[in-house]
Amino acid sequence: MTVAAVKALGAADVVLYDHLVGDGILDLANLKAERICVGKRSGRHSLPQEEINALIAAQALAGRRVVRLKGGDPMVFGRAGEEIDHLDALGIPVRVVPGITAALGCAASAGLSLTKRGVSRAVTFVTAHGRDGERFEPDWARLADPNGTLAIYMGREQARAVGQGLTGAGLPLDTPVLAVENGCRPDERRSWTTLGAMATEGVAAGKGPTLLLIGEALRERRVGAADAGDALGAGGDLGQWLDGH
């Protein structure tokens, strides 16, 4: 976390937090602050987004200092824009405290560089989930860049579709893939595979949120992990301390 985030939690009258917030983070909040869970998990929402928007606004209009606490960076697939738009329309001032987005945090905890001279010159962030009811149908031809790295957020359930789409668009079957479940938390789990294997078998992950990192920039690290027999492991100390909010 950043110092600014810790200060914001300490000054809050009410904290509206997500399920993805790591253990111990809420302990940094003002002891007198009310804590309200409004988190979402895959397929299960404790509150619809519209109700979360209204709850933030109601608490602020009541004169309370509100912290809307999210895992990772709130501005990367975090629906923060919808909440900000709602508050702006009501004239409620908002300050965003950035955090470490999942792709960068997971890459760091695994010791990976997402770009590499002569191998990967770009990183693309993609979400594997649209709005409720929308189908996952990205432009595979655009995403299948052999000179780039892909970070697929919330990718566990769509892993086969991702593998099939990217290989169908021309990426080699042996392209390295790292699936990171519960990234940057003490219970982080990593699983190495290839694009071809993922297209038929999916990825080895439980029920936690899973990020897929895909591309040639990962190859040397994947070979090293396989040689060490560490194809699936838990995050270390760095992973535990990268709960950005």
Give the tens place of pLDDT for each residue, 50-78.
Answer: 999 999 999 999 999 999 999 889 999 98
Annotated active-site residue in 7, 23, 32, 40: 40
Bridge partners (DSSP) listed for residue 68 = 16
Over residues 94-110, the pLDDT tens digits come to 999 999 999 999 999 99
pLDDT of res. 163: 97
Q: Is the pLDDT of residue 160 over 80?
A: yes
Nearest-CA neighbor of 180 among 158, 201, 160, 151? 151
End-to-end Cα, the chain, rounded Å: 6
pLDDT of residue 111: 94
Q: How much is the CA Rg of the chain, to the nearest whole Å? A: 19
| C-alpha span between 110 and 188 (Å, rounded) | 10
More confident residue, 40 or 235: 40
Is 85 annotated as catalytic? Answer: no
User: What DSSP line would sit under 27-86, residue for residue?
Assistant: GGS-TT-EEEE--EETTEESS-HHHHHHHHHHHHHTT--EEEE-SS-TTSSS-HHHHHHH
User: Looking at residue 120, what DSSP letter applies?
Assistant: B
Q: What is the pLDDT of residue 20?
A: 80
Q: pLDDT tens-digit profile of 110-120?
A: 999 999 999 99
**187 catalytic, yes or no?**
no
Report pLDDT for 63.
97
What type of residue sits at position 102? Answer: A
pTM value? 0.85
Mean per-residue pLDDT of the chain: 87
Catalytic residue among 18, 73, 145, 243: 18
Q: Token pair of 33, please?
A: 């602050």
Closest CA to 83 of 48, 42, 32: 48
Taking residues 86-101, what's their average pLDDT? 96
